[in-house]
Amino acid sequence: MQKIELGNIAIEVKQKNIKNIYLSVYPPLGKVKISAPKRMNLNTIRIFAISKLCWIKKQQQVFKNQEREIPKKYLSRESHYFKGKKYLLKLVEQKAKPKVILKHSRIELYVRPNATTEKKEQILNKWYRSELKNIVPQIIEKWEKKIGVKSNEFGIRKMRTKWGTCNIKAKRIWLNLELAKKTIKCLEYIIVHELLHLLERKHNNRFVSLMDKFMPKWKFYKDELNKLGFGYVHWNY
């Protein structure tokens, strides 16, 4: 692992068997990493980093200003979100199979007596996963028709650094479990973003043009996601 220092910004450099150079800024402290082709010399990588210095500082400032969620304790009257709406949690202890029931203004979490915080989280996350699996297929189908692409499958998992990914070769989309808490429009934005990678692999001008064409307000939804308190996501340049 090599390092480049630009003033007070330290950049980790990892050279791999890849064709292009990639720059990423990671929360919560704005750690910077570059992945570069093995053939590229360190001075060329440094020049690239300097050219992106303003962008790096901007991303670091975003993470610095971003609200952080307080760790949940899964107790009654604690706030939890679903589809962008805030609900109050109602904890119900019972000697029966755990379950979650969504009511008008609350999420009822049924657990066995003395269930740990970790167990309560697992039960609620299982419910979030199930709800996403019900919502996502129709959104994917809607946008596949509009864009003119076809994915093979999708999956849901907890991710610390991304809202979604696309395995272009397998045509498989992965979505962050946290998206169950966000608005449907934000969920749609991530799905559109990943589907468009089936047309354009890179985040280049063509990709931006495609986003503008199919979802003109995508930058608004991106900003909304950045404001919603999930502090583990980074955006690649």
Question: In the predicted model, what is the mean pLDDT of residues 120-125?
Answer: 97
Is a pLDDT exceeding 70 seen at residue 237?
A: no
For residue 65, what are its two tokens? 């200003």
Give the neighbor-by-neighbor strand order of the sheet with 2-6. Answer: 2-6, 9-16, 31-37, 22-26
User: Could you give the 3-state DSSP secondary structure of residue 14?
Assistant: strand
**How far is Cα 195 from Cα 208, in angstroms, rounded to an integer?**
13
Chain CA centroid to CA 197, Å: 15
DSSP letter assigned to residue 128: H
Q: What is the pTM of this model?
A: 0.75
In the chain, what are the domain boundaries? 2-65, 79-227
The topology (CATH level 3) of 79-227 is: Zincin-like (3.30.2010)
Asked whether 183 and 84 are in contact (CB, 8 A), the reply is yes
Is a pLDDT exceeding 50 seen at residue 235?
A: no
Question: In the predicted model, what is the mean pLDDT of residues 192-207?
Answer: 94
With residue 5 as reference, give the H or E element that holds it: strand 2-6
Beta-bridge mates of residue 4:
11
Is a pLDDT exceeding 90 seen at residue 19?
A: no
**How far is Cα 208 from Cα 189, in angstroms, rounded to an integer?**
13
